[in-house]
Amino acid sequence: MKLSFSLIVVLTVVGLVAHMAPASGQTGEGAAPVFVTKILPGYRDWKLISVAHEEGNLNSFSAVLGNDVAIKAYRERKLPFPDGSIIAALHYRFVPSEENNKVFGQPQSFVAGDPTNIQFMVKDSGKYASTGGWGFGHFNQDGSLGGDALLKTCSPCHAKASRDFVFTRYAP
Amino acid sequence: MKLSFSLIVVLTVVGLVAHMAPASGQTGEGAAPVFVTKILPGYRDWKLISVAHEEGNLNSFSAVLGNDVAIKAYRERKLPFPDGSIIAALHYRFVPSEENNKVFGQPQSFVAGDPTNIQFMVKDSGKYASTGGWGFGHFNQDGSLGGDALLKTCSPCHAKASRDFVFTRYAP
């Protein structure tokens, strides 16, 4: 889940760069704009889609939230997701809870530690046509946009998901 | 987290039984009513407080949600929680995601599996005075209320939490 949200939109990016700066000849990675460049307001109030945990280098704890359009589509099992759907993955460190373990009497409890990043998927079948209709964004804890190397991994990975680029299933 | 939500409210229960059936002489466990006996409507639309995972016999994945009163108290760091606060813990099996692992190329991804139970904490400092001002409820997947043996463990365990009977901290 975590690694997969990113911003590669090669064809559209090339087109956009060409439109913005036709004389510059910039077609490399450094000039590539990304589609979701600002943290979307209000995401922390969105409803729960589900939770996830990744081991390994990620060691992440995720809460996946959706705006009303996305939640409605999930609940109605509507695929592909309609334009306007937005999915936010809030990532935290996966850490043991000393307080909980003390109460349980054994090490068994894990909770969300420090936040690490927030990732968005925005459905707009026209704007993001070159990447399955989804725009991707990755924002570091300080609010900065993720680097190109990371952002380029999002779309190709999500393309492998079995349901319209989306890995996360709705938890009832 | 999971084991701790329950319904023991001994003193109040004794009082309530005496009031309801003064001639019956029922004061044992079997006659003990519980405080939160129905699943609270709308909880699935509440906002996210945080996520949690318990290993061991529980093997659970939790999404902890709060109604507006609880979320406001969390965000304002208000303790004790005001009357009207309700916290819901949605529990699922902690299971590997075959689809995600296939994409990652290694077993590292865990998601929410089948739902197992839902637990509530309802703050009403008058009604639930005998248990720290909190009423507890545990509902099995079929919607049935948890048994007395389980329900009796909630309040004593939550009393060990450092912040007004609540273990879960707010994830930013």
pLDDT tens digits along B54-83? 998 889 999 999 999 999 999 999 999 999
pLDDT tens digits along A4-41? 433 332 222 223 332 333 233 233 333 243 469 899 99
Q: Residue B62's pLDDT is what?
A: 98
Cβ contact (<8 Å) for B48 and A48?
Answer: yes
Cβ contact (<8 Å) for B110 and A52?
Answer: yes
Highest-confidence segment of A57-61, A167-171, B31-35: A167-171
pLDDT tens digits along B96-121? 999 999 998 999 999 999 999 999 99
Q: Which amino acid does the sequence have at B157?
A: C
Element (H, E) at A12: helix A10-20
pLDDT tens digits along A118-155? 999 999 998 888 889 999 999 999 999 998 888 888 99
Cβ contact (<8 Å) for A3 and B104?
Answer: yes
Mean pLDDT of A78-106: 96
The ipTM of this complex is 0.80
Cis peptide, bond prior to residue A22, ω within 30 of zero: no
Instruction: Tell me which chain A residues have a C-beta less than 8 angstroms from the C-beta of B97.
Output: 52, 167
The larger pLDDT score, comparing residue B37 to residue A69, is at: A69
Q: Which amino acid does the sequence have at A136?
A: F
Instruction: Tell me which chain A residues have a C-beta less than 8 angstroms from the C-beta of B56.
Output: 106, 108
Q: Residue A152's pLDDT is what?
A: 81
- B61 phi, psi to nearest 5 deg: -120, 125
Chain B, nearest residue to A166 by Cα? B100
Q: Exposure string (b/e) for A43-69, b if CB count within 10 Å is 16 or more?
A: bbebbbbbbbbbeeebbbbbbbbbbeb
Q: Residue B56's pLDDT is what?
A: 85
Q: Are A74 and A170 in contact (CB under 8 A)?
A: yes
Q: Exposure string (b/e) for B63-77, b if CB count within 10 Å is 16 or more?
A: bbbbbebbbbbbeee
What pTM was computed for the model?
0.81
B134 touches chain A (CB under 8 A): no
